[in-house]
């Protein structure tokens, strides 16, 4: 089973969280049946937003701010690689290099890790494009909220949470959002469009307890939002 995981930047804020996440990912690729192949895309989180806001204050345009965000996502990719036992040693910077290395990654049970790729979207879109490109069986979006809501639940306590959502509904929800560098949306609109066109099975999941990742991949159980 080939799984792409988009892990939100919040999980790279300290060594303990990174280690907890790495333990789970290692456990999955070392699983005795040998059937799980993992491709991880790391977000930039608060650190990326911090540097983006400094750059904006200095007059940088949005594309430059995006490149700053991309640089920070790659720093997080390196942090995760440092914590993993089974990582491919270098972060990937584009989709084609990952695809070219598929046989080596999969026979060696290595976890591929990459950050952002190009301005104009976020690592949600990177993970969706990667999932489409390598024909992944599952795309997991690991975030700090327990699924997709019709508004940001941190700002609107009455926001409605979805157990299931069609990809068309997801596109409708996300295209209302502004796509500036560092903007905080649960799934970016580019990712939603890729999920819609590719039909990849996608689950948005709270990763505060990384065991949730094992539950969904091995047992198919989750409390997130499934995009159908
Ligand atoms: P993130 O993917 O971390 O954005 O990329 P995010 O939505 O803030 O996600 P969380 O908070 O980590 O979950 C950080 C910023 O880097 C730029 C964008 O500006 C994005 O907001 N970026 C990232 C790109 O321009 N292209 C990419 O491929 C990735």
Domains and CATH numbers, the chain: 2-227 (3.40.1160.10)
Whole-number average pLDDT of the chain: 93
Per-residue pLDDT band for 157 (boundaries 50, 70, 90) equals confident
The preferred substitution site among 116, 180, 188 for testing ligand 1, maximizing ligand atoms within 8 Å of CB, is 116
Distance from residue 183's CA to the centre of ligand 1 (Å): 8
| Average pLDDT of the segment spanning 194-204 | 96
Of all protein residues, whose CA lies closest to atom 16 belonging to ligand 1? 69
Comparing C-alpha atoms, which of 108, 148, 112 is closest to residue 133? 112
pLDDT at position 225 over 60: yes
| Average pLDDT of the segment spanning 93-112 | 97
Contact indicator for 224, 165 with CB cutoff of 8 Å? no
pLDDT at position 178 over 70: no
Distance from residue 187's CA to the centre of ligand 1 (Å): 10
Q: Residue 40: its pLDDT value, please?
A: 98
Distance from residue 49's CA to the centre of ligand 1 (Å): 8
Comparing C-alpha atoms, which of 192, 205, 77 is closest to residue 69? 77
Backbone angles phi, psi at 35, to 5 degrees: -100, 0
Comparing C-alpha atoms, which of 142, 128, 127, 109 is closest to residue 28? 109
Per-residue pLDDT band for 179 (boundaries 50, 70, 90) equals low
Q: What is the pLDDT of residues 41-83, one digit of tens each?
A: 999 999 999 999 999 999 999 999 999 999 999 999 999 999 9
Contact indicator for 6, 140 with CB cutoff of 8 Å? yes
Comparing C-alpha atoms, which of 80, 56, 82 is closest to residue 68? 56
Report the residue count for the chain: 228
Distance from residue 65's CA to the centre of ligand 1 (Å): 10
pLDDT at position 94 over 90: yes
- Cα first-last separation, the chain: 19
Determine the atom of ligand 1 nearest the C-alpha atom of 9. Answer: 12
| Average pLDDT of the segment spanning 194-207 | 96
Sign of the torsion formed by the C-alpha atoms of 222, 223, 227 and 228: positive
User: What is the percent of the chain where pLDDT is above 90?
Assistant: 84
Q: Residue 181: its pLDDT value, please?
A: 66
Q: Is 118 in the pocket of ligand 1 (CB under 6 A)?
A: yes
The preferred substitution site among 6, 11, 44, 121 for testing ligand 1, maximizing ligand atoms within 8 Å of CB, is 44
H-type helices in the chain, by residue range?
A: 15-29, 45-57, 62-83, 95-100, 102-107, 123-133, 167-174, 189-198, 211-214
The β-bridge relationship of strands 164-165 and 2-7 is unpaired
The preferred substitution site among 122, 142, 181, 185 for testing ligand 1, maximizing ligand atoms within 8 Å of CB, is 122
**SS3 (DSSP) at 87:** strand
- 1-22 burial, b at 16+ Cβ within 10 Å, e below that, comes to ebbbbbbbbebbeeeebbebbb
pLDDT at position 226 over 90: yes
């Amino acid at each position: 089973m080939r799984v792409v995981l988009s892990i939100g930047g919040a999980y790279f804020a300290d060594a303990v969280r990174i280690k907890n996440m790495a333990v789970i990912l290692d456990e999955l690729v070392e699983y005795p049946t040998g059937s799980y192949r993992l491709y991880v895309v790391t977000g930039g989180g608060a650190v990326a937003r911090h540097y983006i806001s400094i750059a904006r204050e200095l007059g940088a345009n949005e594309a430059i701010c995006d490149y700053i965000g991309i640089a920070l996502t790659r720093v997080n990719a390196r942090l995760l690689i440092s914590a993993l036992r089974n990582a491919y040693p270098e972060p990937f910077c584009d989709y084609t290099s990952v695809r070219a290395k598929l046989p080596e990654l999969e026979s060696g049970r290595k976890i591929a890790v990459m950050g952002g790729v190009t301005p104009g979207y976020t690592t949600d879109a990177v993970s969706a494009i990667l999932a489409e490109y390598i024909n992944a069986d599952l795309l997991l979006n690991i975030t700090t909220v327990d699924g997709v809501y019709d508004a940001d639940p941190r700002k609107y306590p009455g926001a409605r949470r979805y157990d299931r959502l069609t990809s068309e509904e997801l596109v409708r929800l996300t295209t209302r959002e502004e796509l500036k560098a560092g903007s905080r949306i649960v799934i970016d609109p580019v990712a939603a469009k890729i999920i819609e066109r590719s039909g990849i099975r996608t689950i948005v999941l709270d990763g505060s307890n990384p065991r949730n990742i094992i539950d969904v991949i091995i047992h198919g159980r989750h409390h997130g939002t499934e995009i159908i």
